[in-house]
Amino acid sequence: MSIQTVVDDVKGRVDTLASQSQKVAQISLDTLKQSSEIVVDKFQELVKTESAAAKELYTAAKLGLDKAKADGLKAVAAAPISYLPPKDKFVTVYTDTVTLVSATGEELYKTFKTGFTSIQAELTGETPVKKVKAAAKKATRAVKKAAAKAA
């Protein structure tokens, strides 16, 4: 085997590796962009949800405080729980938050799994299956619908 053959073989392998690494980098960047969009969107949704809940709880607490001032100390001491905001408001806020965070986690998992599958396909020499991308988009839409129903 001549030196020229070895050099050509190594050069071909390096070119292949360089091409694969560029594609892997592009897939990684695309996955990172998708995940950051998901996080930003869900964080904004969480802020809206929590802000609205905080306003509701503040209003309920203020009403309870005003009622306590009007009723007097004896009435408050006799039934202190009646002056607190309803428990179901706290439970609803907690449930909405858990639902939103869980949906975000599932969506991120699917996005990263799709990116990982694409990288594996690139490294093994297979062409990335478009069905995986379509499934990820479908899953993203399903999670968004579920989050919208929860809100």
pLDDT digits (tens, 9 = 90+) for 135-149: 666 666 766 776 666
* pLDDT value of residue 125: 75
| Structure-block tokens of residue 84 | 């607190």
Report the alpha-carbon distance of residue 41 to residue 2 in Å, rounded: 59
Question: Which residues of the chain carry a pLDDT beneath 70?
Answer: 1, 127-140, 142-143, 146-151
pTM of the model: 0.66
pLDDT of residue 44: 94
Residue 121's pLDDT is what? 87
| Predicted pLDDT at 70 | 92
- Tell me the Ramachandran region of residue 10: left when phi exceeds 0, alpha when psi lies from -120 to 50, beta otherwise: alpha
Q: Rounded to whole angstroms, what are the CA distances from 27 to 100, 120, 137?
A: 27, 11, 16
